[in-house]
Amino acid sequence: MTAGAGVLEAAKGTAAAQAAPEGEVLLKGCEAIAEAAIRSGIDAYFAYPITPQTDIPEYMAEHLPKLGKTYTQANSEVSAINMVYGAAGAGLRCMTSSSSPGVSLKQEGISYIAGAELPCLIVNVMRGGPGLGTVYGSQEDYWQSVKGGGHGGYRMPVLAPATVQECADLTMLCVRLADLYRTPTLLCLDGTLGQMWENLRFSTFDESGLPPKDWATTGRKGGRKANLVNSIIIEPPELEAHNRALHAKYAVMAEREQRWESYRTEDADEIVVAFGLAGRIGRTAVELMRAAGRKVGLLRPISLFPFPVKGLAPLTTRARRWLVVEMNAGQMVEDVKQALFDLGRLDPVKFYGRQGGVIPTPEEIAEVVEREFPKGGAR
């Protein structure tokens, strides 16, 4: 792909470029996602404006048409996700992006895409809810993202970046996983990260081992057998067989695609579990508490589905106290409790959350740990 090079070229001579080390570029989280998607070979992008992700359609509108690719501003998020359905079904590498209320509108289409097993990327730059809520960043869509926001009990890989660098890297990974598993994938970040500027370095998209899209509706050229992109399977035994195959695929994803970051967990008695921006703040909180003599570590899930049980399991040999921090009223904490239970652990799991777009501070998190886990009461 050449668009990325174009960005780097265009940035030359700007104050930002001069400040950036060689090979790095200064971008917003949203722009990094857009550029990474272009470098992943996206053929088509469909979306509808909504704060705080509108930098993505703006970036796409500027760059995609120059590459001969499709940029369409749809009449609604509902329409955009169905354009994704059609394009993905026709074999295009394609995506849409939105923010929480808009992603709610897309849920019907995502369910159809999951049922029809179409590869695509959906980006949710989360804002506070419910309802119209606020335009400020939040993590209130965890449940919607990982528990199947639409109907029918499907799953899809959900990746949550914590830095602008990860915004780019995980966008590329989402596009790859989509094609690899023939599945929708969701990149899930809060609005603050979407608007945050950081230096980053783009990697090269990994095309290796991706299966051909011989199921796509590209016309029966050469008289081949007709292809069908479809999610209606009216006979119950046939739908059950289809759903079993889907869930067998989800089990493979759960086995192979767990991702996480562990920070200072080797000797930790207490673990802070947090994803995305909360995870990034949690890292600073761990540093604060370590400086004060607490043996605290951080587990930052990067894949929200599959939940990184493999990252959590080794920590249970030592850690006995867990604090889950989220920018919501407590959603991922359920998965942490379930994972510990499945591992045979009945450790206390505490929760701390800020809501409505309020961002927790490292000091706040350290105070909560002090309060919830008084010294000496560890074991």
Residues that bind other proteins (CB under 8 A): 43-44, 46, 69-70, 72, 74-76, 78-80, 82-90, 92, 94, 108-109, 112, 116, 217-223, 226-232
Among residues 82 and 258, whose Cβ is nearest to other proteins? 82
Q: How far is the CB of 324 from other proteins (least distance, A)?
A: 36
Q: How far is the CB of 75 from other proteins (least distance, A)?
A: 4
Q: Closest separation between CB of residue 37 and other proteins, Å?
A: 15
For the CB of residue 235, give the shortest distance to other proteins in the complex, in Å: 12
Going by C-alpha positions, the residue among 302, 294, 301, 304 that lies closest to residue 362 is 294
What is the helix (H) or strand (E) element at residue 297, kind and residue range? strand 296-301
Q: Which is nearer to other proteins, 116 or 315 (CB)?
A: 116
Helix (H, G, I), strand (E, B) or coil at 142: helix
AA identity, residue 126: M
β-strand partners of 296: 270
Q: Can you state the angle between helices 77-89 and 100-116, rounded to 10 degrees?
A: 30
We find the least distance from the C-beta atom of residue 81 to other proteins, in angstroms, to be 8
Q: State which amino acid sits at residue 260.
A: W
39 or 69: whose CB is closer to other proteins? 69
**How far, in Å, CA of 1 to CA of 230, rounded?**
31
User: What's the rounded Cα separation, in Å, for the pair 287 and 290?
Assistant: 5
Of 130 and 222, nearer to other proteins (C-beta) is 222
Helix (H) or strand (E) holding 300: strand 296-301
Q: Which is nearer to other proteins, 89 or 157 (CB)?
A: 89
Of 199 and 227, the one with the shorter C-beta distance to other proteins is 227
Q: Please, what is the minimum distance in Å from the beta carbon of residue 298 to other proteins?
A: 41
CB 94 within 8 A of CB 179: no
Contact yes or no for 158/132 (Cβ under 8 A): no
